[in-house]
Structure 1
Amino acid sequence: MLDIDKFIQNYPFLSAFVSFIIGLCFMPMVLNIARKRNFVVKPNKRTSHEGIIPNVGGINIFISFLLTVFLFTFSIFSELQFTIVGVFIILLVGFVDDLIDIKPAWKLFGESASAFFLIVVSDIRMSSLHGFLGIYELPIGASYLLSFFVFILIINSLNLIDGIDGLASGLGILYCLFFAVYFHSVLFINLAISAYAMVGSLAVFFIYNVISGKRKIFMGDSGSLLLGYMIALYVFEFCDINTKVITPVSFHMSAAPAVAVCVLSVPLFDAMRVMLTRIIHGISPFRADKNHIHHWLLKSGLTHLQVTFLLIIISIFYIALGIVGRNWPIGLLVAVAFSIACVLTYILWRVVERKVLK
């Protein structure tokens, strides 16, 4: 048993293969149950698909992810119990929203409940500003407030970006792979196992969502909210490691919060831009529309798959920017990332404007 544990600790990336195999085994069952129980979405004015498609792909992601984490980190599972409670809550909120489209206020309440178990009970949170504005260690109250804000921002940003085939899962694979490799490099093996497991689980969904044809499935809010929960957890741990843990110089990131902003730049900037635009026009920030970055790119003439891979490429660029500027002043790195996002958005807006006029 000790030899197996040692082998797993040496090769945590194997959890990606395990979760992938488990996901492949369970997906047909999830599809069949979804069709029998009518867990599906029909075409409407906000969608571009044809036919009736199951929308509970998040359930398969959850099953394969949780089983893999259980198999690979059984020895510390008791320490994760409250974190897992938060996972169950966010999965339930997303699943109910997929079925009956709950009101934003109730959705926010459910997200906050899951955040409570992650931030307050499990004590996984933002505890420092890493010197931004001269502030390092945060008072406990400020830490909770900041952590809740960041959690809600991340989880809803990833929820909002889930609008076309493969986008949320493709970005999720990239983000989880970044955190998995980092945690692996600084020897936080259990976190690496978890992130690698998410990569494998999301890869199965990506295949079914993008290239499976008649067996297509959507992630649904159950999947996008679950992904947001895990990404928020990884961001908190990533920042905490670079605050409290002595890491090798080559892996230390004094601007860790800004690096996290770079990693998640596409959904974060898009969510903030859309919300601000709605408020300026006197519309509720929670009202759904077709003003997201992927909608603009579709209007420019690109296909779903082209939009997905373009935004993944842009995200890779931003991750490279974060790595290069990992020890820059936090404000400088965020300002550079924000400025590039504004320039790219303006260019896209002009392209779409010309396309519409033609």
Structure 2
Amino acid sequence: MVAVTVLPPLLVTLVSLYPVRRFADALGLVARPGGHSTHTNVTPLGGGIGIWLGIMFTFLSATVTLYLVRQNADLQSHLPSQSLVYLEGAWLRLGQLWSLLGAATVLVILGVTDDRRGGVNPFFRLAVEFAVAGYVVYGMGFGLTAFIGISWLTDFLSVVWIVALINSFNMLDNMDGLSGGVAAIISASMAIVMLTTPDPGTSRPQVFVAALLLVVCGALLGFLWHNFSPAKIFMGDGGSYLVGFLIAVAMLMATFASSDHEPRPHAMLAPLCAMAVPLYDMTTVLWIRIRQGRSPFVGDRSHFSHRLVELGLSRTQAVLTIYLVTGTCGLASVLLTHVGIVQAITVIGIVACMLLLVIILESTQWQNTQE
């Protein structure tokens, strides 16, 4: 399953980004040095177009294949009997899938427009993000449960969750290979969680959500071929909005609760563990900007990656360090869904200690930034 879901988007994204790079200037999708950016060369934007193509092509091919298999009994006879259950389940969820991809496409259009114009009004951008998130939560019915039992509160938190993740990946896209690599690690980690955490209703792995995450991961790996240092193309707002949105919604679609025989309510913290680095970066950057009396919507060089560089790391070392922290958090998210409460407290404690260590190491630089 992993190869079937990862390789097609990887190859489509990898190949499609060559013409995007070539015609980026004509499309008005270029990033020029200056401002708060640290890059020194004119670099194409539009990496999100390739990521979108990889994801859409894969799911379009899967939809056509699924239709043909359902119409052909001979083809079905050559498939393992257990796979037919998943095929029928996937067919029933195609409407949800394409509604979700349609909503994601709206965000890609918003992001690409932002890239071309050099900035869309931030309040309009947030309005569109909240509208799309509201459609997913209130129109499609995806949302947190969180064992709260208050529907209006969980719906509101679900909308905030989607908008927060969209912007966290957008803010993280500030160094070669950073946002794409972190998103790939998170997607892979959560896909493992889905494949190893049975749905309580069916007692089967959550293949649908895992497939969505693996397709996103594959598209990101194809993008990283072009984006890792030195970057030949940037993800752009179109890509970061798309990736953040799909990962956020995938986590809402997932079930983290275990069976009645082994209740693990702490498993609901797995998405927060997996997303620790993007959320940490977004929270600290907003805190620094607001504390300094600056607009939270105006970009700067106060991101986690920039602070690591200020501490003496090279840009590549900073990115790899953030990969390592993200990978550790991803492993913690996997463990949370398979251990009891005592072990879960230990795992969460390890993640908290790691983040506190980062905060301590950064504290000197934060003080310098605020002076």
TM (normalized to structure 1)? 0.84
Matched, 1:138 2:150: yes
SS of alignment partner, residue 78 of structure 1:
helix
Letter in 1 for 2:135: F
> 2:364 maps to which residue?
350
> 1:196 maps to which residue?
214
Matched, 1:341 2:323: no
Residue 125 of structure 1: how far off its partner (Å)? 1.1
Distance, in Å, in 2 between the alignment partners of 1:24 and 1:323 is: 29
> 1:256 maps to which residue?
267
Distance, in Å, in 1 between the alignment partners of 2:194 and 2:335 is: 18
Closer, same or farther in 2 for the Cα pair 1:230/1:253, shift >3 Å?
farther
> 2:109 maps to which residue?
92
The answer to whether the 8 A contact 1:258-1:333 is kept is: no
Q: For 1:3-29, what per-residue CA distance to the aligned partner results, in whole angstroms no more than 9, with x for missing partners?
A: xxxxxxxx2441101111212231222
> 1:124 maps to which residue?
142
Picking from 275, 278, 303, the partner of 1:292 is 303
The answer to whether the 8 A contact 1:73-1:190 is kept is: no
Distance, in Å, in 2 between the alignment partners of 1:67 and 1:142 is: 36
Residue 155 of structure 1: how far off its partner (Å)? 1.3
Higher deviation after alignment, 143-152 or 67-76 = 67-76
Percent identity, aligned pairs only?
22
Distance, in Å, in 2 between the alignment partners of 1:113 and 1:335 is: 36
The answer to whether the 8 A contact 1:124-1:237 is kept is: yes
* Corresponding pairs, count: 331
Letter in 1 for 2:244: G
Picking from 80, 90, 93, the partner of 2:97 is 80
Matched, 1:232 2:248: yes
Q: For 1:102-129, what per-residue CA distance to the aligned partner results, in whole angstroms no more than 9, with x for missing partners?
A: 1210110111122122212111111x22
SS of alignment partner, residue 242 of structure 1:
coil
The answer to whether the 8 A contact 1:13-1:192 is kept is: no
Closer, same or farther in 2 for the Cα pair 1:150/1:352, shift >3 Å?
closer
SS of alignment partner, residue 128 of structure 2:
helix
Higher deviation after alignment, 281-290 or 114-123 = 281-290
The answer to whether the 8 A contact 2:168-2:279 is kept is: yes
RMSD: 2.7
Q: For 1:19-43, what per-residue CA distance to the aligned partner results, in whole angstroms no more than 9, with x for missing partners?
A: 1121223122222231322311110
Distance, in Å, in 1 between the alignment partners of 2:345 and 2:295 is: 30
> 1:114 maps to which residue?
132
The runs of at least 4 consecutive aligned structure 1 residues that moved more than 6 Å come to 329-336, 351-354
Residue 45 of structure 1: how far off its partner (Å)? 2.6
Gapped regions of structure 2 (runs ≥ 5): 65-90, 199-204
SS of alignment partner, residue 228 of structure 2:
helix
Q: For 1:84-106, what per-residue CA distance to the aligned partner results, in whole angstroms no more than 9, with x for missing partners?
A: 22111111111111112012101
SS of alignment partner, residue 159 of structure 1:
helix
Letter in 2 for 1:311: I
The answer to whether the 8 A contact 1:58-1:221 is kept is: yes
Letter in 2 for 1:79: Q
The answer to whether the 8 A contact 2:267-2:336 is kept is: no
Matched, 1:315 2:326: yes
Closer, same or farther in 2 for the Cα pair 1:297/1:321, shift >3 Å?
same
SS of alignment partner, residue 270 of structure 1:
helix
